[in-house]
Structure 1
Amino acid sequence: MSRRVYVHVGAPKTGTTYLQDRLFLNRVSLAGHGIAYPTGLKGDMFEPALDLIDRPWGGMRDEVHGEWDALVRRVKRSSGTVLVSHEILAGARPQQVQRAMRDLRDFEVHVIYTARDIARQLPAEWQEQVKHNGRNGFRRYLRQVRKAQQNHPNRWFWRVQGLPDVLTRWGCNLPPERVHLITVPQPGAPKETLWLRFCEVVGIDPAWAPEEAERHNPSLGGAETTLLRRLNAVLLDEDFGGDDYRTIVREVIAHRTLAQRTDMTRVTLPPGEYDWVEQVAESWIEWAQGAKVHVVGDLDELRPRRPAADEPWVNPDKPRPRDVADAALDALVAVVLEAGRRPNPDDQLRAKVAKAVRRARGGR
């Protein structure tokens, strides 16, 4: 009987970072029970996933060449059941999925997809786009997503979040019992629920992974996202990208600073969008039922929850100037502290930062 490989393909913003971190923290214990999580030296599978889906990703395409093949070699050297997990795998095109299946043909391949209701996914994916140098406001982003086609997705949102399309691509030629759909519970559920559902699919006794994960991919508030959009616009013409952008803007400013602020105003859908997202959710549920894939959780959790009729909606594109200024001060402090930790800053990077600051202040 062939050994099993579970390929967890996403979706982004469905607790994947938490699941991956917990797997990594408990990898030695899990290996002792016949569950391998062969990440390699980097501690995650982002680079192999990026190599497979072949996207530019801020200039990293050449850097990750060969990483997927290296992961496949680690999988083949591993013992027992093997786990492969990264959320950007959901974006693989049909020929890339075929390559993955061909490379793993000696195994019994299972596909796992974690899905969350679309009303929460749209704000989350918009913020992720902004954290990757995006400049679109929320309203414009929603218009673009609505205009895009779900069944032939050229837009990243549908490529990774369009449940029927993702599972059709990844589940092609697999029996439905080897395609596993895990629903992400609505707010208020016990913290362990998603992890326990994941363990149920893979056959992990939760006692094998006692170390709790703390790393996650938090969302930003409306003011924080606006600040980041404005910063991206300033940096657009300053050749400030690649490693510099990833290190300073995405990591230091967005993840370590803005995402950690308290009392942020959560980004939610405009009330007028709920009729549409409810229709999308119903189509996903009908597809899952018709496809007879293995569902762990409750498909009803994919149905968006409408806010109360008297609950005010805050436009994330028009936050209070004071809130944006407070977020900017926090970001500035973080960048100053980061600069202080670098005893010999790169002259070219220093010049880029200084030029961007002058432009932001209105000078040339």
Structure 2
Amino acid sequence: MSKKRKAYLHVGMPGTGDVVEAALVHHREAILELGFEVPARSAEETFLASLEILRAHRAWGYERPEVEGQWAALCRRAWRGNLPVVVSLPMMVGANRPEIDLLLDGLVGMQVHVVVTAGPYDHLDDVVDRWFGAVRKPERLHVVRLEDATPERIWKAFGRTVGFGTASLGLADVPDPAGALPVTSLDEARREIERLARRNRSLERWRDESERRRRKAKKRLRVA
């Protein structure tokens, strides 16, 4: 019986994930030489795929046809090769279980590993519960929590977790994730600023909601 190909899916707490998404795309050819395939060819592809799965396109100023099929296209590209696959979708860290299941449907047949990046003060109980429920085996859920969560340390720790070295994959030439999407006019620039502002607000709301759920869970445990 042949072994399943591995697929490493990265999700990141706010402030810790974007660097991985951008660095994977920027270094995709070099990472291929190290034995891993990066199906995404731009940060826009992974961003739109996340909006599709999360059904958040309207909040970001997109129409449904603009995101429809983005994740399926990435999965088709992933299935064409024979090496382990690495995909970064940092926004999916806040996905609920049905959204996670929908995402993983595209990778059925692969051995999926989930890598969660986090800073020192991020509350991860809810995140770990949701993603562990999907991958089901503890050795397939990797939590990378860093006290000093600089982009360089996050990128190095991520590469080490997946299994490739980052010494030759520096971040100096990696585009700023905040400006990774194409801007072709003043109107597009204004639209992009609004998208980024909405993204920040969405992440803040998600973080606040996660904190409320954590407090409620602790209160229930104390009562019990």
Task: State whether TM-score is above 0.5.
Answer: yes
The change in CA–CA distance for 1:186 and 1:32 in structure 2 (over 3 A counts) is: closer
1:24·1:43 contact (CA, 8 Å) conserved in 2? no
**Residue 53 in structure 1 maps to residue 54 in structure 2:** yes
Aligned to 1:202: 162
Extract unaligned runs of 5+ from structure 1. 119-160, 219-242, 256-275, 284-364
> 2:20 & 2:42 partners in 1: Cα distance?
18
1:111·1:170 contact (CA, 8 Å) conserved in 2? yes
> 2:165 & 2:34 partners in 1: Cα distance?
9
State the structure with more CA Rg: 1
Shift of 1:57: 2.5
Give the counterpart letter for 2:141 in structure 1: V
Aligned to 1:170: 131
**Residue 74 in structure 1 maps to residue 77 in structure 2:** yes
1:23·1:209 contact (CA, 8 Å) conserved in 2? no
Equivalent residues, number: 191
Q: Which one scores higher on RCO, CA 8 angstroms, separation ≥ 6?
A: 2
2:9·2:113 contact (CA, 8 Å) conserved in 1? yes
> 1:214 & 1:68 partners in 2: Cα distance?
23
2:22·2:43 contact (CA, 8 Å) conserved in 1? no
> 1:104 & 1:5 partners in 2: Cα distance?
8
Please point out which of 172, 176, 188 is paired with 1:215.
176
Aligned to 1:84: 87
> 1:60 & 1:73 partners in 2: Cα distance?
23
**Residue 22 in structure 1 maps to residue 19 in structure 2:** no
Shift of 1:174: 2.1
Aligned to 2:143: 181
What are the superposed Cα offsets for residues 65-121 of structure 1, whole Å, 9 maximum, x if unpaired? 111111111111133111111221112221121122222121110011111244xxx
**Residue 192 in structure 1 maps to residue 124 in structure 2:** no
2:45·2:70 contact (CA, 8 Å) conserved in 1? no
What are the superposed Cα offsets for residues 3-45 of structure 1, whole Å, 9 maximum, x if unpaired? 111111222211x222222222211111122111111366541
What are the superposed Cα offsets for residues 115-172 of structure 1, whole Å, 9 maximum, x if unpaired? 1244xxxxxxxxxxxxxxxxxxxxxxxxxxxxxxxxxxxxxxxxxx752222222221
1:97 is paired with a residue whose SS is helix
Give the counterpart letter for 1:193 in structure 2: R
1:60 is paired with a residue whose SS is coil
The change in CA–CA distance for 1:216 and 1:71 in structure 2 (over 3 A counts) is: closer
Give the counterpart letter for 2:145 in structure 1: T
What are the superposed Cα offsets for residues 291-341 of structure 1, whole Å, 9 maximum, x if unpaired? xxxxxxxxxxxxxxxxxxxxxxxxxxxxxxxxxxxxxxxxxxxxxxxxxxx
1:11·1:90 contact (CA, 8 Å) conserved in 2? yes
